[in-house]
Structure 1
Amino acid sequence: MNKTILAAAALAVAAPLLLVPTLVRGADAASHSPRGQLVYQIVRKWGSHVQEAYRADIGDWARQMGPIFAKSPMDALQRAADARDFDAMNDALLGRAGARATAAGQITPSAIGNLTADLTFVPIAPCRILDTRLAGGVIPANGTRDFDVAAVTDYSFQGGSAGNCNGVGTAGAIGAAMINFTVITPSMAGYITAFPYQGARPLAASANYAGGDIVNNLAVVALDTSAAASDMSVYSYAQTHLVGDIVGYFIAPTPTALQCTTVSNVSTMNGSASFTGTSPSCPAGYTKTGGYCQAAGTAGRVVASYPNGTLHQCVFANESPTAMQVTVYAECCRLPGR
């Protein structure tokens, strides 16, 4: 592209952004305000690319980008002026500069959770998983009894339900369980402590009791997730019977694919005219992840394509005297969860 024409186009868009009353002298940007100087640099640096890659008139592109140049923060304009590639320049102007990693241009995703620590709670109808009155006998004073919670098809071997307790036994590796413990006629005052099988017994109580009590308490108990035969141990200070009813469990979240959909707006662009179109909003619960533009005729050009808040916006130019349809798309996605 002719450098004189490019310089004139750069000055044409920079001139309205002057913050001091001065005259533009030739192709010199020195007399511009700081904003005008940065805009001049951006247009001069990338004008030839826009013309060659998008078949766009540099003057039209510069004028259509004027509102973005005018509203962009100064640090964004500086990043755009210093950008080494066109995508980085656009990212800076459109507020996406932080989305790119500093190395190899790769996107760095934000962490969305920890598969070990961030568990999903699954509530169930209460179901008995243990009853020492029916199996095993009393837990002796200062004694510990081991129980199974996960991977069980029939809990009757430890005094519980003759089934899998509403899917608990077939849910896979369970990280923790919510259990209502009932202590029945202990020999003296004391407490029970439930903890992971083979783990260190914590200095804490899952339920406190007096001698001869029938008392219950709801507790969340971390479970052993290894291939061991048991998942949970219960210590009792005094001799007692114990009943346990599970009401829910915590399990690792299951990775799921994004659910995505595309929404669009179709408009008519007059012949030999430009047109700015906007996508519709994403459906409730979805987030806009991208967008694109399409003109029905070969004479229709996409001059600019950029996000506008929760919408996507496109600037078209019609090089034909005949009207044509243009479409603005927004790509919308959501995480469906477990």
Structure 2
Amino acid sequence: MKFRRSQLVLALAAGLCLSAGALAQNTTASAPVTSGSARPASASKYKLNAAQLAEAQARVQLANTIAQNVAADAKAKSLGDDWRTNLLGTLYNTPSSALSGMSTSISTLDQALSQANAAQQQAAAAKVSASTSAAGHASSAEDTTEALGSSSYDLVFTPMTPCRWIDTRVTGGAIGSTARVYDTYYGGGTYGGSSSCVLPGAGEPAIAVNVTIASPTAAGFLTVRSYGSTGITSWVNWYQFGANVQAANAGVISTAVNSSTSHYDFEVLTGGGGTAQVILDYFGYFSAAPATALNCTTGTQQNYSVAANFSGYHFIDTTCPSGYTAVATFCWNENNANIVSNGSGLIAFPWCGWRNLSTTTAYEVHENVSCCQVP
């Protein structure tokens, strides 16, 4: 029997998450607050590489610039405080290439929303077109990676209806120079926010938030950083205002896994002296793009007669439907012809091994392949 070599390049998507910042909280935590099905206690999510982190940071900076540019228009329209978080949720899901042009040309909220939505639709259409093209001629990773999810471009942002997760005025009290750790596994009810304000799973590697400080006792700044970090950076700065002011800033917090809980945590602390109340609202999170699910089927079943006293292997010469490629072999029988082994995973050498213990009777056996394609 002959055999045919087949090759399939299956590019699976990896999406990204992103940016910088971090806060800290105390570690007193009650039972986790969940909504819906139970969430896993362990964290096994995607970790950003340097290129992905840089892309996320660029997207956040551009989005904040656009929000700043349209603030006067929002004020003139007498909009509520949530216009900013709603706009940022849209902008964070818009390609950086589009945001770059918008950051220098947009002055009204309506323009920002309209152009961001149009850019998202164009990006989605381009991805579908590229993926469809790649599925028909998959021959290299370069052919399909961009269509399915780039490791340096595609941030996957999931917007949330803005919700309050931390309010130290309710729980925990004002934050000072000692880092306070916050565990993103828990719902907002643990930290003075809403019990329904919950992230999926054991939290996320990066979260989009609006952070507000209130009632500072002295001029200073707020540091928000990944769990375990020793860096001191300014997320909100109120040096120019002094004490007893309120200031806010939106951005993305990059979290880190707490080895003792396997949850994603971050830290918050103040600098410059004094304490401040901290209010934090979620409006989305970044996470890895799910792997592209393959379309799979089976090939044409091949029946083969194993001769009496036969011991050896047999090359499979079966075919997959048009557009599919064999990715594994499988063999079975209904009598005493034993399967010795098979060539699953050895796509360039598909075979089944057989042993017929009968000295007089040949038995029919069956061989086939699993066939898959990128949708």
Normalising by structure 1, what TM-score?
0.40
Structure 1 or 2: more strand by fraction: 1
With a CA cutoff of 8 Å and minimum separation of 6, indicate the structure with the bigger relative contact order: 2
Please tell me whether Structure 1 or Structure 2 has the larger radius of gyration of its CA atoms: 1
Normalising by structure 2, what TM-score?
0.37
